[in-house]
Amino acid sequence: MDLLNTLVDKGLRRETPTRAEALAVLGTSDDDLLDVVAAAGKVRRHWFGRRVKLNYLVNLKSGLCPEDCSYCSQRLGSKADILKYTWLKPDQASQAAAAGLVGGAKRVCLVASGRGPTDRDVDRVSDTIRAIKEGNEGVEVCACLGLLSEGQAERLREAGADAYNHNLNTSEATYGDITTTHTYADRVDTVHKAHAAGLSACSGLIAGMGESDADLVDVVFALRELDPDSVPVNFLIPFEGTPLAKEWNLSPQRCLRILAMVRFVCPDVEVRIAGGREVHLRTMQPLALHLANSIFLGDYLTSEGQAGRADLEMIADAGFEVEGTDRVTLPEHRVGVGGCGTHEGGGCGSHEGGGCGSASSGAGVCGGAEASSDTGTGAGAEGASGPGTATEEAGPADGPRTDLVAVRRRGAGTDLAPNA
């Protein structure tokens, strides 16, 4: 296909695809799917080899959120039967993180439900960051605490945080259909605050909320403009008790096309498969490793994930390797140029030649923040596009797989061992 050859060439040059090209990827047929995966895989391997970065979530405070994000099991008014608990103590959070580190995780993502942290909350999280960093050389810590106030990103950076996650989730035009208690502009502002403080920005999206192809392309191009170092791609987990419980709009094939489109638009950025991969990709998960270079290990915020051992076996069986703390995640041109510090574990992103893609042709810059907590579905990326126009795929051929949605009952906030 001429389209795929063009996209590979652009990806290797860090040049931005056109909107029409990005839309065309989402519109390819199932007959062409393996060709799409192979093409995006060339771009992925060029920038990241066959390495897979493992990330581990620790839900510091679960449930009881005052925000009304429709996709989230922790939202205001949620009837989802999830774990609810207040802040973990620093030593409890550090112990929870240790399980993921032993399992091979390179980054720990500290997440807390809520609109945003108070200054006291920032102190608490700062103590947790220090506790995790002690004795864990090379580990990266990403905080995801909601909307940031002035000076809070700098304080997290001083405490040793490497990154901050705050997702855009969906297109600006449809954001108000998903959330009313804060705005799309609020999210963008927090990503800017993280960047300005020298934190590696992590920001992504949620697919499967009934959005149109145009919505998906809009949010990914907006992320490119923000220039994040990592882009988590969440697939909505339709929790019973949330407004989007009936939104089963994804098939494994569509998930792969979405990941391929993100890779073509942000070729040299860490693309992370986040919440919902087990529910929607199912047996096609190994193919997704040819598109994304990062996944979450084990469980998510409020939902159970695949067993940690199964994650590691899947990576090995697919011919990939777990990225160690001695390796820099991002390509050299994105590391240590933007005043972010060294961040040897993964690099803060240079954003020098246009970040995620934009070669000197002036095609534009990439953009973003990182995987967020308010998915409640678990993996660090928040809301998706609005109701929009339904895509050509109505969902899994065998109907909704509600049997694959399991509420997390182990790990942080419980007395049971975590899944790592």
Q: CA angle, corner 114, sides to 108 and 115, nearest 5? A: 115
The catalytic position among 107, 157, 187, 202 is 202
109 is catalytic: yes
Rounded Cα gap, residues 208 and 125, in angstroms: 32
Length of the chain as a residue count:
420
Cα Rg of the chain (Å, integer): 19
Residue 178 confidence (pLDDT) above 80: yes
The count of other CB atoms within 10 Å of the CB of residue 225 is: 16
The catalytic position among 14, 44, 75, 109 is 109
Q: Quick check: helix, strand or coil at residue 232?
A: strand
Rounded Cα gap, residues 315 and 293, in angstroms: 11
The catalytic position among 14, 44, 65, 348 is 65
Query: What is the per-residue pLDDT for 376?
Result: 41
Query: What is the per-residue pLDDT for 371?
Result: 34
Q: State residue 144 phi and psi, 5-degree precision.
A: -140, 95
Residue 186 confidence (pLDDT) above 70: yes
Report DSSP state, residue 268. T
What domains, with CATH codes, occur in the chain? 2-404 (3.20.20.70)
65 is catalytic: yes
Contact status, residue 217 vs residue 26, Cβ threshold 8 Å? yes
Q: State residue 204 phi and psi, 5-degree precision.
A: -145, -150
The catalytic position among 44, 72, 124, 255 is 72
Lowest mean pLDDT among 50-64, 101-115, 349-363: 349-363
Helices (H) and strands (E) in the chain, counts: 13, 10
How far apart, in Å, are the Cα atoms of 8 and each of 222, 261, 272? Answer: 21, 11, 20
Mean per-residue pLDDT of the chain: 86
Residue 336 confidence (pLDDT) above 80: no
Rounded to an integer, the average pLDDT of 329-345 is 63
Contact status, residue 107 vs residue 55, Cβ threshold 8 Å? yes
Query: What is the per-residue pLDDT for 397?
Result: 59
The count of other CB atoms within 10 Å of the CB of residue 250 is: 24
Residue 163 confidence (pLDDT) above 90: yes
pLDDT band at 398 (very low <50, low <70, confident <90, very high): low
Query: What is the per-residue pLDDT for 368?
Result: 28
Rounded Cα gap, residues 336 and 331, in angstroms: 11
Contact status, residue 381 vs residue 168, Cβ threshold 8 Å? no
pLDDT band at 241 (very low <50, low <70, confident <90, very high): confident
Rounded to an integer, the average pLDDT of 51-79 is 88
Rounded to an integer, the average pLDDT of 295-314 is 92
Rounded to an integer, the average pLDDT of 109-138 is 95
Specify the DSSP element, H or E, that contains 52: strand 51-61
pLDDT band at 81 (very low <50, low <70, confident <90, very high): confident
Rounded to an integer, the average pLDDT of 52-75 is 90
pLDDT over 90 percentage in the chain = 70
Lowest mean pLDDT among 27-41, 43-57, 358-372: 358-372
Rounded to an integer, the average pLDDT of 59-75 is 87
pLDDT band at 355 (very low <50, low <70, confident <90, very high): very low
Rounded Cα gap, residues 296 and 168, in angstroms: 19
Instruction: Please measure the distance between the N-terminal and C-terminal CA atoms of the chain and give it in whole angstroms.
Output: 41
Residue-wise DSSP of 315-350: HHHTT-EEPPTTS-SS-GGGSS-SS----TTT----
Residue 180 confidence (pLDDT) above 50: yes
Residue 171 confidence (pLDDT) above 70: yes
Residue 395 confidence (pLDDT) above 50: yes
The catalytic position among 14, 44, 69, 334 is 69
- Better-scored residue on pLDDT, 72 or 236: 236
Query: What is the per-residue pLDDT for 391?
Result: 39
Rounded to an integer, the average pLDDT of 265-278 is 97
Q: Return the closest-CA partner of residue 143 out of 398, 380, 385.
A: 380
pLDDT band at 342 (very low <50, low <70, confident <90, very high): very low
- Better-scored residue on pLDDT, 108 or 346: 108
- Better-scored residue on pLDDT, 114 or 367: 114
- Better-scored residue on pLDDT, 361 or 123: 123
The catalytic position among 142, 255, 266, 340 is 142
Query: Could you identify the residue written with the tokens 């439900």?
Result: 113
340 is catalytic: no
Q: Exposure pattern of 331-346 as b/e (b: 16+ CB <10 Å)?
A: bebbbbebebeebbbb
Query: What is the per-residue pLDDT for 344?
Result: 39
